Amino acid sequence: MRKKRLLCLLLCGLLALLPVCPAFAANEGEGQTLRAREDGSFHILLIADTQDRDKPQALTIELLNAELDAADVDLVLFLGDMIYGPFVGADRDKVEAAIRAIIEPVVKHNLPFAVAFGNHDDEGCLSKEEQLAIYQSYPGCLNENPDLPGVGNTCLPIAAMGADTPSILLWIIDSGTYAEEEIGGYDYVKPEQNQWFCDGVASYGENRPTSYVFQHIPVPQVFSLVTPAKAFQKGAFCTFGNPTSDWYTEKEGAVREGKFGESPCPPKIDGGQFDSWKDCGVKAAFFGHDHTNDYVATIEGIDVVATCGLGFYSYGRGDEHGARLLVLHTDRPDDYETEMVYYKDLIDKPLTVFQAPVLGAQLAQLLLLALGGLILLIAAVIVLVVVLHRRKRNRKKTA
């Protein structure tokens, strides 16, 4: 009897070590199946543009932790530019430290997460493939990496408790870095990725789940939400930091929530992604990239939703840096609720212009360096003038 009991315990122990399989088999290219809560809801925290270095701004980490503390969520999705590649340079340790700074708070909250890469992430010494391996080394990373353009493209099905098939699909897309030299500007989602998306949707046959898309760079169609305006016209905005660029205002009635704080910066060309959404079905698409935009609008039946930047190293909207809450429902998958949660909503500590400059700590530091350099130059000129004046006076005395 003892031997049978021991054998049973050993078998149970071995089974406990085996990976837990989802309730149904995922389609090829799909990631882990997620389960909604008992009430059918699924809660997501969307974080865009933390965009910092190996030693991030204290305010960025404070706000990130405050968002995680306040949000009772089932998943965290990063919408790109998790780190600022150019300023972590050619140092692998710095890249890893920058990633660790934003992921460890998520891990400590015991939350699963996925990342959609942005255009600044791989501007340092590590490729997106190398960075994805770092993210995947943390518990809870749900990113897959099918053989497609871009890195970390992932489909996450969401099913109700006890359901055999999902009612919602989350599509995490790498929208690229920069387009080919002959095109210029930001990158665009490639036809192979669009085909992967449509094939994945079609694999469910007539009972297609509702699709939601998450990526960094918005689609060119967002320009249909704005109209050209004169420079510095009241309510007008341009590309951030470039008053010589084109100016726009919101098209009347186009935006139902939130606002534009800057001109959108999509790719210069249309890679066909929006058409694939119309053909294969997307309820809503969520973007980062434009740090001061948080609009919610609808274009040809598809909702487009911008999320403000969370990080304080880059430019933003002062106490309106924040993250976006998104609640989905497996029993009514075409319905969702979303709202921005800002610094001012969570932290009762007013920001000074020095703590959260509109230009961001990065540009503020560069401006301070430039100002310091200018002061040193002026001081050197003054010293030179004084020295030359004394030499001239001494020569006169000698004569």
What is the reported pLDDT for 30? 64
Q: Based on the domain organization, do 159 and 102 belong to the same domain?
A: yes
Q: Based on the domain organization, do 245 and 125 belong to the same domain?
A: yes
Look up residue 6 and give its two tokens.
């021991």
Q: Based on the domain organization, do 156 and 232 belong to the same domain?
A: yes
- Are 75 and 116 within 8 A, CB to CB? no
DSSP symbols for 255-282? EEES--SS-----SS--SHHHHHHHH--
Least confident of 35-39, 129-133, 282-286, 365-369: 365-369
Give the pLDDT confidence of 65-82 residue by residue, as tens digits.
999 999 999 999 999 999
Residue 371 CA to chain centroid, in angstroms?
32
What's the pTM? 0.85
Q: Based on the domain organization, do 346 and 363 belong to the same domain?
A: no
Q: How many residues does the chain have?
A: 399
Gap between the Cα atoms of 214 and 75, Å rounded: 13
The residue range of the domain holding 37 is 19-356
Gap between the Cα atoms of 172 and 199, Å rounded: 15
Q: Based on the domain organization, do 377 and 298 belong to the same domain?
A: no
Mean pLDDT value across residues 230-237: 95
Q: Based on the domain organization, do 70 and 85 belong to the same domain?
A: yes
5 domain residue, yes or no: no
365 domain residue, yes or no: yes
| Domain count across the chain | 2
372 pLDDT band (50/70/90 cuts)? low
Q: Based on the domain organization, do 286 and 351 belong to the same domain?
A: yes
Q: Based on the domain organization, do 224 and 77 belong to the same domain?
A: yes
11 domain residue, yes or no: no
Burial class (CB in 10 A: 0-12, 13-18, 19+), 86: exposed
Give the pLDDT confidence of 93-114 residue by residue, as tens digits.
999 999 999 999 999 999 999 9
Q: Is the pLDDT of residue 11 over 50?
A: no
Q: Enter the DSSP assignment of 245.
A: S
- Are 316 and 291 within 8 A, CB to CB? yes
CATH number of the domain that residue 211 is part of? 3.60.21.10
10 domain residue, yes or no: no
In the chain, the percentage of residues whose pLDDT exceeds 90 is 75
14 pLDDT band (50/70/90 cuts)? very low
What is the reported pLDDT for 112? 98
- Are 74 and 46 within 8 A, CB to CB? no
Q: Based on the domain organization, do 211 and 335 belong to the same domain?
A: yes
What is the reported pLDDT for 3? 38
